[in-house]
Amino acid sequence: MGFAVKKSRVHPYTTRNKGVCGGRSIIEGTRIPVWSIIRWYKLGMSIEEIMREFPQLAPPRLNLLLPDILPY
């Protein structure tokens, strides 16, 4: 017997899935929470440093995502 998992889109490159990271927004195709990228960027990490830490984040995806998530 399986359970239905609700999945929703917040942004074209983010998703929410109740069974992943407590239902918080993550970068689609990864388990990287959006809040962590916001935190690192606000702490002074450059986009290049974030991409070095997480090579699975493609530069175009991250560059399109940052303007939409930074107002939070």
- In tens, the pLDDT along 42-63 reads 899 887 888 888 888 877 777 7
Residue at token pair 């689609």: 28
Q: What pLDDT is stored for residue 7 in this prediction? A: 58
Sketch the domain layout of the chain as residue ranges.
7-69
Residue at token pair 């889109």: 9
- In tens, the pLDDT along 3-41 reads 545 555 567 778 888 888 888 888 888 888 988 888 988
pTM of the shown model:
0.69
Separation between Cα atoms, residue 72 and residue 64, nearest integer Å:
15
Per DSSP, what are the bridge partners of residue 9?
Answer: 15
Query: Is 35 in contact with 8 (CB distance < 8 Å)?
Result: no
Q: Strand 14-17 to strand 7-11: parallel, antiparallel, or no bridges (unpaired)?
A: antiparallel
Task: Return the CATH number of the domain spanning residue range 7-69.
Answer: 1.10.10.10
Q: Strand 26-27 to strand 7-11: parallel, antiparallel, or no bridges (unpaired)?
A: unpaired
